């Protein structure tokens, strides 16, 4: 049973121009995305740069204005109260970014960074607050001394852990993780990912895991949505996506996962070439959810949509 539903989400950014700086067009960053989240599951959102992944995550949590669509939380429409103080949605849904420190004030010590969500959402005495902060640091494998340090005094992996500590401070139900490990070394990536899995079990968390890397997503996610030009072109379980993908676009992302086995390297290279060729031939077309390819209708300089059902029928 899903506890969050996203219905037909659109985020369009106006493009201004001309002498009077009027709106001349829009960037259709997210263009009709729907998804549902169940408790304790991990959902992957994958696509190449500019496909609209971050905008989707930020729109869900309320950091981007929604042009149209709905966010339903525990049966209630929270579309217009996603960032209101004291709302359950604001407390329960947290976000972490590629560089967690960019979301932390560099002039604040860790104790102030962690205290912020605690003071906003939990009514604790100063002693309880300190105890809670120490517990949070323990959960992310750090000691009490970290409380008096500044964010720049930590390594990349440690900063990501601090970002996670802050995100879980108020026991959220879901974390939207936008490329949480892509700025880290491979070995540190594995540590942070495994750690995220551990706290998921401990807190019963759901994740929306945003990444351009299908290799990382395979490690983490139960359900995967492939995003292309602001829309989902394919959605399914890990099995559906990695074993039975239908899309030329998904195939292209899959073929980009590096292999370390020398015996399959040559076949993979040839496979990649064929997939790349198929993608190039169809790059200007729309990929239907069943894997069929249709011409795009150009409706503005920046926006192209799929043909209507009637037009497909006529094809």
Instruction: List residues binding ligand ATP (CB under 6 A).
Output: 13, 27, 29, 47, 49-55, 212
Query: 9: which 2 tokens?
Result: 């989400």
Chain Cα centroid distance, residue 254: 18
d(CA 30, CA 79): 16
Query: 132: which 2 tokens?
Result: 């809670």
Closest distance to ligand ATP from the beta carbon of 48 (Å): 7
Closest distance to ligand ATP from the beta carbon of 207 (Å): 16
> Who's near 173: CB < 8 A, 6+ residues apart?
3, 39, 92, 93, 204, 205, 206
Classified as helix, coil or strand, 60 is: helix
Q: Smaller CB distance to ligand ATP: residue 173 or 212?
A: 212
Cα maximum dimension of the chain: 71
Closest distance to ligand ATP from the beta carbon of 28 (Å): 8
d(CA 265, CA 50): 29
Closest distance to ligand ATP from the beta carbon of 189 (Å): 16
Cβ neighbours around 300 below 10 Å, total = 13
Closest distance to ligand ATP from the beta carbon of 268 (Å): 24
d(CA 280, CA 295): 14
Q: Smaller CB distance to ligand ATP: residue 29 or 93?
A: 29
Q: Smaller CB distance to ligand ATP: residue 51 or 251?
A: 51
Closest distance to ligand ATP from the beta carbon of 55 (Å): 3
Q: Smaller CB distance to ligand ATP: residue 54 or 101?
A: 54
Strands (E), the chain: 2-17, 22-38, 42-46, 68-73, 76-77, 93-96, 174-178, 206-211, 223-228, 231-237, 285-287, 293-295, 297-298, 304-305
Q: Smaller CB distance to ligand ATP: residue 60 or 104?
A: 60
Contact 250, 234 (CB under 8 A): yes
d(CA 214, CA 191): 18
Closest distance to ligand ATP from the beta carbon of 140 (Å): 25
Query: 137: which 2 tokens?
Result: 């640091």
CA distance from start to end of the chain: 39
Q: Smaller CB distance to ligand ATP: residue 51 or 79?
A: 51
Q: What are phi and psi of 76, to 5 degrees?
A: -110, 140
Q: Smaller CB distance to ligand ATP: residue 27 or 224?
A: 27
Closest distance to ligand ATP from the beta carbon of 58 (Å): 8
Q: Smaller CB distance to ligand ATP: residue 91 or 231?
A: 231
């Amino acid at each position: 049973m899903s506890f969050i539903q996203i219905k037909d989400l659109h985020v369009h950014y106006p493009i201004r121009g001309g002498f009077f700086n009027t709106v001349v067009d829009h960037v259709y960053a997210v263009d009709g995305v729907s998804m549902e989240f169940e408790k304790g599951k991990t959902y992957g959102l994958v696509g190449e740069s500019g496909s609209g992944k971050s905008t989707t995550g930020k729109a869900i949590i309320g950091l981007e204005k929604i042009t149209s669509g709905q966010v339903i939380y525990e049966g209630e429409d929270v579309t217009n109260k996603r960032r209101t103080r004291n709302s359950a949605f604001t407390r329960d849904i947290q976000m972490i970014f590629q560089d967690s420190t960019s979301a932390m004030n560099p002039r604040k010590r860790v104790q102030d960074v962690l205290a912020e969500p605690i003071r906003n959402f939990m009514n604790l005495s100063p002693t309880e607050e300190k105890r809670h902060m120490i517990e949070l640091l323990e959960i992310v494998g750090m000691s009490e001394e970290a409380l008096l340090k500044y964010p720049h005094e930590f390594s990349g992996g440690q900063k990501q852990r601090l970002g996670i500590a802050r995100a879980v401070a108020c026991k959220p139900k879901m974390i939207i993780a936008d490329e949480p490990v892509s700025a880290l070394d491979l070995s540190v990536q594995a540590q942070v990912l495994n750690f995220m899995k551990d706290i998921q079990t401990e807190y019963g968390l759901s994740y929306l895991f945003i990444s351009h890397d299908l290799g990382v997503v395979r490690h983490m996610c139960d359900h995967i949505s492939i995003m292309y030009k602001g829309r989902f072109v394919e959605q399914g379980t890990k099995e559906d996506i990695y074993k039975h993908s239908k899309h030329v676009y998904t195939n292209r992302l899959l073929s980009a996962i590096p292999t370390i086995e020398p015996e399959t390297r040559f076949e993979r290279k040839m496979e990649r070439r064929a997939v790349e060729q198929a993608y190039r031939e169809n790059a200007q077309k729309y990929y239907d959810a069943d894997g069929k390819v249709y011409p795009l209708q150009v409706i503005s300089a920046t926006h192209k949509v799929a043909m209507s059902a009637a037009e497909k029928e006529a094809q």
